[in-house]
Amino acid sequence: MDALSKLQALSDASQYDLSCACGTRQGSDHRTRGNDGAWLYPVSLPRGGTSIMLKTLMSNVCVNDCKYCPYRDSRDVPRCTIGPDELVNLFLDYVRRKQVIGLFLSSGVVGTPDRTMALLTDTARILRDRQKYRGYIHLKIIPGASDGAIDEALRLASTVSLNIETPGEHRFRQLSDKKNYLRDIIRPMRRISALTGKEGPFSRVRQTTQFIVGASDETDAEIVHYAGSLYKKLNMGRVYFSAYQRGLGDGSIPGERKAPHRDANAGLMREHRLYQVDFLMRFYRFTESDISFDAQGALSLEVDPKLMWAQRHPGYFPVNVNRADKYELLRVPGIGPRNVTKILDMRRRGRIGHVDDLPMKRAWLERAKGYVAV
């Protein structure tokens, strides 16, 4: 295979690792294919704003047995590996054509974690040190990587990620017999957290992670609890959620044994609800105790978590839009951060006289009407 054919195959394989794009709505936050077939992804930059990056694996060869992964060691699929110089040349061609300003590099495990990390960091080192590239680089940390390999990745990257995969060791054991949750996942995460903290030598670097939702028999309540802990204890920059794609994994895992849901999009809606909860906890000051789960620890697929809170707390409403502070307004269904900013700006110019005067799109205003007063 020539270098471009490898990039097309490996970029396609990278679609199963989504820890760089939310994908909860159609539009700018969704990946697109470039003219040559490679995947181009949106990325949130550490200092704000977004851009487009090329995302690819460096190899789909893998010695690991992750039972949810279509490229696990037991599967007979075409394999290839692209070298650092090959990838650098292809990526810089994208940069010269002004199609991307960032690169997301991941990989299957080729031989050992550190051998694989060398593929990733050699590529980043050529870009940084030889080509003087100063743009965005996201490097995947391979489970089980040594401290030295992690430190070198942090020196070169803008963002690093190591997928936590499941909420807890007992769930993790359902998905892999080779990897060790505490040694290969949690220990490196803690090291990255220490080194990227405010006082750490790599404080400019952001750490993210991802849950594989539905591959094991985890509950939404467990995922929300673990995500909250990652933000609080490990200063995680972002937690992502990727709905398990049924039919790709080993038949022994819960995600394959469960009876198919009557709604083919139920897994994607579950992913969407988790993103909504994540947003509420990061930007709306919701806490874990504010989130409603059913007896099985599941979020409602029919009602979004913010509306569910409002329905369960009727005494909180109506909220007076002339007196409420930012976070009181954010509890109102239909009112998000942009609407709050508009309402607060409107209040500075004078009292709001009627609910219909709120500076909101009609659909959101209709949702909010039952929960606000002037």
pLDDT tens, position by position, for the chain (374 residues)?
888 888 888 887 776 665 444 444 444 445 565 655 565 666 554 445 556 788 889 999 999 999 999 999 999 999 999 999 999 999 999 899 888 888 999 999 999 999 999 999 999 999 999 999 999 999 999 999 999 999 999 999 999 999 999 999 999 999 999 999 999 999 999 999 999 999 999 999 999 999 999 999 999 999 999 999 999 999 999 999 999 988 888 999 999 987 666 566 788 899 999 999 999 999 999 999 999 999 999 999 999 999 999 999 999 999 999 999 999 999 999 999 999 999 999 999 999 999 999 999 999 999 999 999 99
Overall fold of domain 3-255: TIM Barrel (3.20.20)
pLDDT at 20: 47
pLDDT at 266: 86
Q: Which two tokens stand for residue 347?
A: 């209040």
Distance between CA atoms of residues 301 and 198, nearest Å: 38
* CA distances for 70 relative to 108, 168, 264, angstroms: 11, 22, 20
Overall fold of domain 315-373: DNA polymerase; domain 1 (1.10.150)
Long-range contacts of 123-132 (CB under 8 A, 24+ apart): 123/58, 123/84, 123/87, 123/88, 124/153, 124/156, 124/157, 125/152, 125/156, 126/84, 126/85, 126/88, 127/88, 127/91, 127/92, 127/103, 128/156, 131/88, 131/92
68 close to 20: Cβ distance less than 8 angstroms: no
Distance between CA atoms of residues 286 and 290, nearest Å: 6
β-pair partners for 45 = none
Outline which parts of the chain fall under CATH 3.20.20.70. 3-255
Outline which parts of the chain fall under CATH 1.10.150.320. 315-373
User: What are the start-end ranges of the E strands in the chain?
Assistant: 32-33, 39-44, 50-57, 102-106, 136-140, 159-161, 206-213, 238-243, 319-320, 372-373
pLDDT at 21: 46
